[in-house]
Amino acid sequence: MSTRCQIIPIYVIQSNLNVCACSLLQVLECCIISLDFFLLPLLSAVWIMLPAYLPNPVAALFGGGTPIDLGRNFSDGKRVFGDGKTFRGLFIGILAGIGIGLVQIWIMGTYGLDYLPRHTYLSVMLLATGALLGDLCKSFFKRRSGKERGIKWPVADQYDLVAGALILLLVFDPSWLFANMILPVFILILILTPVLHRTVNIIGYYMGVKEVPW
Ligand code: CTP
Ligand code: MG
């Protein structure tokens, strides 16, 4: 047995080493590919959208008081926006979105992080404001379609903030939008948004902040 081990030709060992090295390289290659094609766009998607994602949960936490439509009805006899859209929620939500954006700008200035999209004061303001204006517009059309406050309205409830934020960017800062919103990032935002929206709303529901878990 030991004699057979000793006569393993050197080229067999070398070829085994080659196979190992190749496998290791393939694993490394996979890591680099997944970093380039998945992880970086995912991080970029979250980084871009943070100032737009934060206003909604903050409005749910701190909103309430005078409704934006002052309790008035539209010409169809239904509420313009409803009691779920208040001045306090709107302003505190937008401030929170701008606040997190300023923190992101500070982090980039301090730590570099050149692989992430670079926010500007304008992009942050447009994302935060657009998110809650999108939410407000959604509620306007939700009331027109006869749905009461808090009733589920799939797709619109999840994407209102994305639509609002991107439309404001498109109108007031298109160069920033097209420089940073590359296709894989945009696709990831479309996948990520409903997942995050649902998760945060379920958490809000169990915390007693939201009346419904959607
Ligand atoms: N909120 C607020 N002001 C806003 C947006 C939200 O005060 N501009 C608060 C309200 O208390 C609201 C909660 O956040 O009930 C959750 O927001 P959302 O789900 O957008 O409102 P809904 O109550 O579901 O109303 P709608 O059916 O119009 O979407
Ligand atoms: Mg809602």
pLDDT in tens, 58-86: 999 999 999 999 999 999 999 999 999 99
Token pair listed for 33: 């590919």
pLDDT at 162 over 60: yes
Q: Which pLDDT value is given to residue 17? A: 79
Q: pLDDT-based confidence at 32, cuts 50/70/90?
A: low
pLDDT at 198 over 60: yes
Token pair listed for 92: 């505190």
163 CA to middle of ligand 1, Å?
17
Task: Tell me what the pLDDT averaged over the chain comes to.
Answer: 92
Q: At a CB cut-off of 8 Å and minimum separation 6, what does 83 contact? A: 67, 71, 149
Mean pLDDT computed over 149-175: 97
Pocket (CB within 6 angstroms of ligand 1): 59-60, 63-64, 82, 84-86, 89-90, 132, 135, 139, 142, 149-150, 210
Q: Which pLDDT value is given to residue 14? A: 77
Nearest-Å Rg of the Cα atoms of the chain is 25
Q: pLDDT-based confidence at 1, cuts 50/70/90?
A: very low
Phi, psi values for residue 131, rounded to 5°: -60, -45
Q: At a CB cut-off of 8 Å and minimum separation 6, what does 188 contact? A: 41, 42, 45
Question: Whose C-alpha lies nearest to ligand 1, atom 23?
Answer: 84
- Among the bound ligands, the one closest to the CA of 144: 1
Give the pTM: 0.86
Query: Given the structure tokens 């998945």, which residue do they identify?
Result: 38
Angle, vertex CA 41, rays to CA 36 and CA 47, nearest 5: 135
Q: Which pLDDT value is given to residue 6? A: 63
Question: Whose C-alpha lies nearest to ligand 1, atom 15?
Answer: 84
Q: Which pLDDT value is given to residue 20? A: 76
Q: Which pLDDT value is given to residue 89? A: 98
Q: Mean pLDDT lowest for which of 4-13, 117-126, 156-165?
A: 4-13
Q: What SS3 class is residue 54?
A: coil
Q: What is the pLDDT of residues 112-156, one digit of tens each?
A: 999 999 999 999 999 999 999 999 999 999 999 999 999 999 999
Q: Which secondary-structure segment (H or E) carries 188?
A: helix 183-207
